[in-house]
Amino acid sequence: MNLEGKRILVTGSSRGIGHAIAMECAARGATLVVHGPEVDDELTQSFAKVSALSPSSIQVTAELSDPTAIAALFDTVHEQLGGIDALVNNAACQNEYGVLDLPQEDWDRIMAVNLRAPFLCAQHAGRHWAAEAKGGSIVNISSVHAQQPRRNFTHYSTSKGGLEQLTRCLALELGEHQIRANSIVVGAIASELTPKERCDAFATAIPMGRVGWPEEIAKTAAFLCSDDSYYMTGASITVDGGLTLGFCASRKDL
Ligand SMILES: NC(=O)c1ccc[n+]([C@@H]2O[C@H](COP(=O)([O-])OP(=O)(O)OC[C@H]3O[C@@H](n4cnc5c(N)ncnc54)[C@H](O)[C@@H]3O)[C@@H](O)[C@H]2O)c1
Count the domains in the chain. Answer: 1
**Distance between CA 236 and CA 107 in Å, rounded?**
25
Give dist(CA 53, CA 137) in Å, integer: 22
Q: What's the CATH code of the domain at 152?
A: 3.40.50.720
Mean pLDDT of 169-192: 96
Q: Does residue 1 form part of some domain?
A: no
What's the CA-to-centroid distance between 96 and ligand 1, angstroms? 15
Specify the ligand 1 atom closest to the Cα of 16.
16
Distance CA(219)–CA(212), nearest Å, equals: 12
Q: What is the pLDDT of residues 70-122, one digit of tens each?
A: 999 999 999 999 999 999 999 999 999 999 999 999 999 999 999 999 999 99
Give residue 12 CA to ligand 1 midpoint distance, Å. Answer: 6
**Is residue 94 domain-resident?**
yes
Q: Is the CB of 92 under 6 A from ligand 1?
A: yes
What range does the domain containing 235 cover? 7-250
Ligand 1 contacts CB of residue 14 (under 6 A): yes
Catalytic residue flag (residue 156): yes
Position 83 in a domain: yes
Between strands 31-36 and 136-143, the pairing is: unpaired
Q: Is residue 74 part of a domain?
A: yes
Nearest atom of ligand 1 to the alpha carbon of 64: 32
Task: Identify any residues that bridge with 34 across adjacent strands, giving them in sequence order.
Answer: 10, 59
Q: What is the pLDDT of residues 119-168, one digit of tens each?
A: 999 999 999 999 999 899 999 999 999 999 999 999 999 999 999 999 99
